[in-house]
Amino acid sequence: MAGLRPTAAATARCLFARQTATPRTFSTTAAAARQTPTHLKVDREAVPDYPYGEFRWYKQRNSGLYGTAKIRYGNTVSQPRQIKTRTQWRPNRHTKRLWSPSLGMFIRTRLTAHVLKTIDRLGGIDAYLLGTKARRIKELGPAGWRLRWKVMQSPAVQERWAREREALGLPPKDSSAAALEEIAALEGAPSAEDMREIDAMLERGDEFVIGEEVVVEERFMAEEPASAVEEAREAAQEVLDEVKQEGEVKRKTP
């Protein structure tokens, strides 16, 4: 067995070999790209505020189309011994790329199986996002609200709405300055000439009359002297006294 023992020279060579540093390989491969959900690419400053605010429970719904889905809690009961075990059921969430004909691109978002079934029934994600009922707006959440605004700004949706306005007999929607001035005039807003006249009145210190001027008759609620009031009171008191006297005379006569 003595021949199997390591010699001192072999032990020294092993120690020396362990101390030598080996060069480490360096990789320049970039990290795998991760696609960003479409609702995060929408400018938040341009989108109106979501009317119902962010969800306070199950906050994952703020970053996808979850509808009304939440985590459900309950118990599982074993059949032989009726033992209860606390458990939870999470929503059946998926990540999908759905084609939007209005935008001409794929919309990548997280959504539940129930919402995906609703989208298939309606015929596409555009029809789901453009729903007008309050329940649909509540189901969209903040992420769906931003996607809805993005779809509404597309030229295809704007043209469709213009055709609907024409079919209903409404004037075309124009965002030019002339149209805005016309709308302001219809709503009773002051025009440029009115503003110049108001500025001139402020410089002169004139009084402003708000509303229509009411014409009051000269004798309406006119103040009368105190002597006339006293005379009227005395005349009324005399009439009352005469009526009382006549009543007493009638009672005394048989």
Q: Are residues 130 and 155 in the same domain?
A: yes
Q: What is the pLDDT of residue 71?
A: 93
Q: DSSP letter at 120? A: H
The answer to whether residue 145 sits within a structural domain is yes
Q: What are phi and psi of 239, to 5 degrees?
A: -65, -40
Distance (Å, whole) CA 86 – CA 69 = 20
**Total domain count, the chain:** 2
Same domain (yes/no): 100, 159: yes
**What pTM was computed for the model?**
0.56
Same domain (yes/no): 188, 80: no
Task: For residues 1 and 27, give the distance between their C-alpha atoms in angstroms, rounded to a whole number.
Answer: 48
Token reading at 147 = 């996607």
Same domain for 73 and 161? yes
32: its two tokens: 């795998």
CATH of the domain at 68: 2.30.170.40
Q: Are residues 51 and 79 in the same domain?
A: yes
Residues 6+ apart with CB under 8 A from 154: 102, 103
Q: How many residues does the chain have?
A: 254
Residue 169 DSSP label = T
- Tell me: do 152 and 186 sit in the same domain: no
- Examine the domain organization and report whether 67 and 138 are in the same domain: yes
pLDDT tens-place values along the chain, 254 residues long: 455 565 656 555 655 555 555 666 666 666 666 677 787 778 778 888 999 999 998 999 999 999 999 999 999 999 888 999 999 999 999 999 999 999 999 999 999 999 999 999 999 999 999 999 999 999 999 999 999 999 999 999 999 999 999 898 888 876 555 555 565 555 555 666 777 787 777 777 766 565 555 555 555 556 656 666 677 788 888 878 887 777 776 676 65
In whole angstroms, give the CA distance from residue 13 to residue 219: 129
Residue 124 pLDDT: 94
For residue 182, give its domain range.
177-203
